[in-house]
Amino acid sequence: MAMDELSWRPLDESDHEPVLATLSAWSRGRDFHALLPRLFFAHFSDTSLIVEDAEGNLAGFIITFVSQTQLRTGYVHFVWVSPQLRRQGLARQLYERVFVLLRDRGCRRVEAVTIPENSASLAFHERMGFTAKGRGGSPFEAPVVTDHAGPGQHRVVLEREL
């Protein structure tokens, strides 16, 4: 897959099952239905993007939305890049393009969440200008929001001004 042969478009509800099937293949059988229910594909398509190669194969995608309670805040729910295209700037391009979409909808900041042990995600978000909210450091040196995803499920909450 060559970066210059990729096409970009808004995510669509019809992408739901093909995206989940590809994610499962990329992750050796992991089921992503709980993390990516159809509603994200149906209701957040105007702020989410999918990238495909010349044959229509998934290269990457990002799902974002505008907060309903903090109208000037966008939220990155999920981003994934094909293993063959990692470290080539596609994730950065996905983020930069949704930053524009979120700004156009009045957002002035964006948030994302990751697990403390995901050092690659933490390093990527830091390079993208995100800072971690939370207190103290985890064993992985990231400030965490304790019990963010439930009891004992600490998360790193990241934020960035747009």
Closest residue by Cα to residue 66 from 36, 109, 37, 95: 109
What residue type is 86 in one-letter code? R
Q: 30-39 pLDDT, tens per residue?
A: 888 888 999 9
Correct CATH for 1-107 of 3.40.50.300, 1.20.1260.10, 3.40.630.30, 3.90.930.12: 3.40.630.30
For residue 140, pLDDT over 60 is answered with: no
Q: Average of pLDDT values for 31-60?
A: 92
pLDDT score recorded for residue 27: 83
For residue 36, give the DSSP letter: S
Domain edges within the chain: 1-107, 113-162
What residue type is 55 in one-letter code? E
Whether the model pTM is above 0.85: yes
| Bridge partner list, 145 | 155
Q: Average of pLDDT values for 32-58?
A: 92
